[in-house]
Amino acid sequence: MSETFRRERLPEIVQHLASRPGHEAVRSGVMALLTEGLGAAFAEVTHELRMPEIRGRADALLGATVFEFKSNHAGEIGDVTHKMPDYLKQREDATGRHFIGISTDGALFQAWELRDGRLEPLTSYKTDPRRPEGLLGWLAAAVLDRDDMIPEPQAIADILGRNSLTFARAAAILAELWTGLSTHPEVKLKRDLWDGLLREVYGDDVASDALFLQHTYLTILAKTIAAGVLEVPGADATAILSGRALEERGIHGAVEADFFDWLLEREEGHDLVRRLARQAARFRLRDVQSDVLKALYESLIDPDQRHDLGEYYTPDWLAAAVTEAAVEKPLEQRVLDPACGSGTFLFHAIRRLRAAAPDRTAAERVALCTRLVRGLDVHPVAVIIARVTWLLALGPDVTSRSAPLHVPVYLGDALQWNISQIGDAKEVRVAVPGDPPLVVPGGFAEDQQLFDQGLAALTRGLERDSTQEELGRQLARLDGATPEDAAKMAETYGRLRALFKAHRDGIWPFVLRNLRRPLWLSRPDQQADVLLGNPPWVAFRHLSAPMQRRLREASEALNLWVGGVLATQQDLCALFVALGVQRYLRPGGRVAMVLPYAVLNRPAFVGLRAGDFRSVQIAWDAAWSLDEKVRPLFPVPACVMFGHRAPAGRLPATVRRWSGSLPRRDATAAEAARFVTSVDAPWPPMPTLNGVSPYRARFKQGATIVPRRFWFVEPVAAGRLGQNAAAPMMQGKAGGQDKKPWRELTPPRGPVEARFLRPVLLGESLAPFRVLGASLAVLPLDDGGHVLTARQAGLDGFPHLSDWLRSCETLWNAHASRTESGATKMTLAASLDHMRKLTAQVPTPPLRVAYAASGLLPAAAVVDDATTVVEHACYWTSARSIGEARYLCALLNNERIRVLVEPMQPKGQGGARHFDNLMWELPIPDYDPRDPLHIALAGLAEEAERIAAAVALVPGAYFTTQRRAIRDALTAAGLSARLDAAVAAIPGL
């Protein structure tokens, strides 16, 4: 494709196609894409292919792809599904090849294939004029066979990623294979072990068959790419997936038999591996300039899955910058990324090392990389991809090595949850689904050479069917093995032998070999000089119950736990950094970690910032701020923390603040240099837990009324008989704010006694100096302020409320989070009154002030309705007088106050949005009815209330629109400026 075509013709063609220009125009546009864009010779395209056998005529044929052009795809779908099966069958019968069909009206491209004689949709592509090359990439997977494609991240994602034809066809084959093999003992064991690895660190709800199949596809691609780097033929699927093909060429540890070779139990699985190897071979893999496999992974795993796994992969430009800053002596310093993911930091560490050694031979550079750049990750697919990325980073040097190459990227849990301290030694415990764990005794686990000899003895014993006693004698003869360790290792062999006989055997050498690596890497003689990377970001509230218990215990031991209302905000990343430095970094070594922005100033991370973890300390000496001013980057703002393993000290006074708009998330270092700049800025202010103002202790957060569809209701339209005013018919409101699994449940419906229907203020209910309106909710509060259960409501004579609560309690008990024992973590009633945030509002004070907990701009108002309850998106307090209430509203709605708290606010995708208790970090004094300034502020607020009340709001308009109308009115009246001046007169503000 010429640069002129890419720059001028391609956008024009794609723009025209997106408009559905008609049959002939679509034909012309697609032909231009195929010939000028993808380089197909015009003679290779057959137009109006006649098929006498079926009395039909296909619009176009290129290679093994049949095209059918339409003017309106949706309107002519019947014609497509009628003709396409005949076209595909005729070509497959005539050629013996597998064909796909593509039907399009220019705006939509739909791919089809025949499966068991039926036409099945594969995948579709909606033409996007903003991204013309995306359509070319999608078509390339269907029609191109050339093998000189540039390995750019987006090109690989387009041809092999989630929306590609390659993935659609592979996914269908994998699903069919899984249907037939999922109960096979060895296959099931691999699936269970994979599940266990993810569960061990990330929780109990991340694994699924769909994710396992996606990981299988990714693994096959990664291994075929590894083979492609060395131009290994793709005919032997077993050799590719087991690593034998690479080992025969002197490369060890890059590829090995693992959880994902299960599809080789069927010949169709071998065919799929060979087909994907052909696709991978189309790229010039030795020319890669970045971690190209990261784009493929992110394309295949959807955002919800990446959130569950805490995976926010680092763009290449940022990884390169961090590596350059952290690795000062690349030819001397040993580098470890203990959460290496797809291998981005490893790639740039190797590239930095190679660039620093232009005078060394290629073989010397490879040897240095093998010795100095290491990776570790608990995610089995990430490790496979990282190993291939490590190889790709070697570039042409990979073919010039003078000795066998061992890729130093390992599967293992850097947190070492599976390691137990036994006396002075540490033993490794490997979980076995449905059975007690396998144990590797400390002597074998901590000695690399002894472990390798012991594992080889176990493998030989299985092959020869040796008895446990025979193998025990062999192990006892190994140099360095104690009788006790040999006996324990022999017991492990006995367990393996039983698994072998139950056909649950093949995966265990792989598992044992990898899961003891973290222990070896933490030995003093193996610790790194530089620890860098991007650890998993998973908040406490998103972890499983067992993992929450582990996180809390370990965090308390390391001075990281804050607890209380901040417990749910504790994050796995903080523990990962502290333990990583303790276990894998030598004294004086350098640490550089990409972390959430909240690490810079949020109270939940005060322990990490302090750097004193009892058994080890970090002296933080630099930080980078990567908030919403750098786009696109991560789903939430980020930072980079730099330090040394040394006695903790004071934090620096400044951070390096980055800003700029990148052309794409995974921009190159050259693009980042053009679009992103950085300057020194003050370290973001750190709010305290106690606040400065006396109002910090008085304001409370509202009630957590969830699941929303259980409690928030709307009246059901009355029939001819009308509503029963004493117990009107209600239905729970289904909305998008409920999370899984609640949003998938049908809301309750039925009559409810009117006394339990209460107005509730949400964050969106408030505007500056005005309450916009409340939502209606069922709140089971009795006269004494107690939350009723279904049983209690029935006993108290409220049958309708009892029925409503019973339906809610049934759903709650079926779907709520559970403890390790299997019981629900709390009852529905306890959840509704979590931390007494509901019952604290009973009896309801007659005069209150409420403000929205979040928003781009503040919103606060006086609340004088004694029936109204405040929800958790608001904070409230009772007011001693109307003067105090208005004084507080004058301050809370003020722009000067917002500007002062902004540096303390947590940053999200939309920037600073959460106020919570931050207002009270300012020296806002208690209201004094004798103070002229306080009286003046209250008077201005009263005037603002009159102006706000007079604004004619558009019924049904979004609340932000209504707030803007009120703010505009206050500005137009000159009141905003007067309030600013009065607030500025308060000392300290």
- What does the pLDDT average to over 411-425? 65
Instruction: Please say if the pLDDT value at position 304 is more than 60.
Output: no
Q: Would the pLDDT of 504 be above 50?
A: no
Say if residue 530's pLDDT is above 80: yes
> Is pLDDT of 422 > 50?
no
The yes-or-no verdict on residue 589 having pLDDT over 90 is yes
Give me the amino acid identity at 422: I
CA distances from 549 to 201, 431, 538, 613, 815 (A): 12, 19, 14, 19, 21
CA distance 832 to 843: 17
Listed by start position, the domains of the chain span: 3-146, 173-411, 419-521, 535-682, 700-717+727-984
pLDDT at 149 over 70: no
Q: What is the pLDDT of residues 707-725, one digit of tens each?
A: 999 999 999 987 777 778 9
- Using the predicted structure, report yes or no on whether residue 236 has a pLDDT greater than 80: yes
Question: Mean pLDDT in the chain?
Answer: 87
- Of 757 and 537, which is predicted with more confidence? 757
Is residue 17 pLDDT above 90, yes or no? yes
The mean per-residue pLDDT over the stretch 773-798 comes to: 95
Q: What pLDDT band is residue 310 in, cutting at 50, 70 and 90?
A: very low
> What percent of the chain is modeled with pLDDT above 90?
51
C-beta separation of 453 from 478 below 8 A: yes
Residue 737 burial class via C-beta count within 10 angstroms: exposed 0-12, middle 13-18, buried 19 and up: middle
Chain centroid, CA 216 distance in Å: 19
User: At 438, which amino acid appears?
Assistant: L
Give exposure, 481-491, as e/b (b: 16+ Cβ within 10 Å).
beeebbebbbe
Single pTM value for the model: 0.73
Query: Among 365, 356, 361, which Cα is nearest to 324's?
Result: 356
Give the Cα-Cα-Cα angle 460, 462, 467 (nearest 5 degrees).
100
- Beta strands 638-644; 619-626: pairing state: antiparallel
Query: H-helix or E-strand containing 239?
Result: helix 237-242
pLDDT of 307 above 60: no
pLDDT for 374 equals 97
Give residue 221's pLDDT.
87
pLDDT of 36 higher than 70: yes
How far is residue 936's CA from residue 230's CA, in Å, rounded to a whole number?
A: 79
Q: Are 262 and 216 in contact (CB under 8 A)?
A: yes
Residue 93 has pLDDT above 70, yes or no: yes
Residues 6+ apart with CB under 8 A from 792: none
Q: Is the pLDDT of residue 437 over 80?
A: no
Cα–Cα dist 264/284, whole Å: 27
- Confidence category of residue 435, pLDDT binned at 50, 70, 90: low
Distance (Å, whole) CA 222 – CA 231: 14
Beta bridge partners of 787: 781
pLDDT band at 960 (very low <50, low <70, confident <90, very high): very high
Cis peptide bond upstream of 929, omega within 30: no
**How many helices (H) and strands (E) would you count in the chain?**
37, 35
Judged by average pLDDT, the poorest of 286-300, 485-499, 558-572, 625-639 is 286-300
* Three-state secondary structure string covering 116-185: CCEEEEEEEEECCCCCHHHHHHHHHHHHCCCCCECCCHHHHHHHHCCCCHHHHHHHHHHHHHHHHHCCCH
Comparing 366 with 519, the larger pLDDT belongs to 366
pLDDT score of 896: 93
pLDDT digits (tens, 9 = 90+) for 847-860: 999 999 999 899 99
The CATH number of the domain covering residues in 3-146: 3.90.1570
* Rounded Cα–Cα distance for residues 156 and 299 (Å): 10
Distance CA 837, CA 700 (A): 8
Give the helix, strand, coil percentages of the chain, each rounded to 5: 50, 20, 35
Q: Residues 349-397: pLDDT tens digits?
A: 999 999 999 999 999 999 999 999 999 988 778 888 899 899 889 988 8
Q: Which sign does the torsion angle of CA 349, 351, 356, 359 carry?
A: positive
Q: What is the pLDDT of residue 139?
A: 87
State yes or no: cis peptide before 632, omega within 30 of 0.
Answer: yes
* pLDDT score for 670: 86
Overall average pLDDT of the 883-903 stretch = 95
Q: In whole angstroms, what is the distance from residue 890 CA to residue 519 CA?
A: 59
Q: Kindly list the strands in the beta sheet with 874-878, ordered across the sheet, starting from the edge strand earlier in the chain.
A: 700-701, 874-878, 848-852, 860-863
Most confident of 138-142, 244-248, 799-803: 799-803
CB 953 within 8 A of CB 962: yes
529 vs 635, more confident: 529
Q: What is the spatial distance between Cα 844 and Cα 837, in angstroms, rounded to a whole number?
A: 12
- What number of other Cβ atoms are within 10 A of residue 942's Cβ? 16
Count Cβ neighbours within 10 Å for each residue of 915-926 and write b for 16 or more, e otherwise. Answer: bbbbbbbbebbe
Coil vs helix vs strand at 759: strand
pLDDT given for residue 506 in this prediction:
52
Question: Assign residue 467 a region: left if phi > 0, alpha if psi is -120 to 50, beta otherwise?
Answer: beta
Q: What confidence score (pLDDT) does residue 144 get?
A: 59
Place of tokens 């190897």: 277
Burial class (CB in 10 A: 0-12, 13-18, 19+), 355: exposed
CA distance between the termini of the chain: 62
- Alpha-carbon gap, residue 9 to 132, rounded angstroms: 10
Amino acid at 925: P
Distances from the Cα of 245 to the Cα of 224, 263, 508, angstroms = 10, 18, 21
**How much is the pLDDT for 593?**
98
Structure tokens at 655: 């951070």
pLDDT tens readout for residues 819-853: 777 888 899 999 999 999 999 999 999 999 999 99
State the virtual CA torsion across 290, 295, 298, 300 in degrees, nearest 10.
Answer: -140
How sure is the predictor about 205, in pLDDT bands with cuts at 50, 70 and 90?
A: low
Query: Which of 253, 335, 262 minimizes the C-alpha distance to 514?
Result: 253
Identify the residue with better confidence: 433 or 146.
433
| Residue 372 CB contacts under 8 Å (≥ 6 apart), including other chains | 330, 331, 332, 333, 334, 335, 349, 353
From the CB of residue 726, how many other CB atoms can be counted at a distance below 10 Å? Answer: 10
The CATH T-level fold of domain 535-682 is Rossmann fold (3.40.50)
- 287 — pLDDT class (breaks 50, 70, 90): low
Q: Are 281 and 660 in contact (CB under 8 A)?
A: no
pLDDT digits (tens, 9 = 90+) for 916-949: 999 999 999 999 999 999 999 999 999 999 999 9
Six-digit token string for 270: 């071998």
pLDDT tens figures, 667-695: 888 889 999 999 999 999 888 767 789 99
Predicted confidence (pLDDT) at residue 910 exceeds the cutoff of 70: no
Asked whether 819 and 545 are in contact (CB, 8 A), the reply is yes
Three-class secondary structure of residue 229 per DSSP: helix
Report whether 381 contacts 421 (CB < 8 A). no
Assess whether pLDDT exceeds 70 at residue 203.
no
Q: Tell whether the model's pLDDT for residue 703 goes beyond 90.
A: yes
Q: Is the pLDDT of residue 308 over 50?
A: no
Q: How long a stretch of residues is the chain?
A: 989
Ranges of H-type helices in 508-635:
508-515, 517-521, 545-557, 572-584, 606-610
Which of 152-166, 560-574, 725-739, 836-850 is the most confident on average? 836-850
Centroid of chain to Cα 677: 27
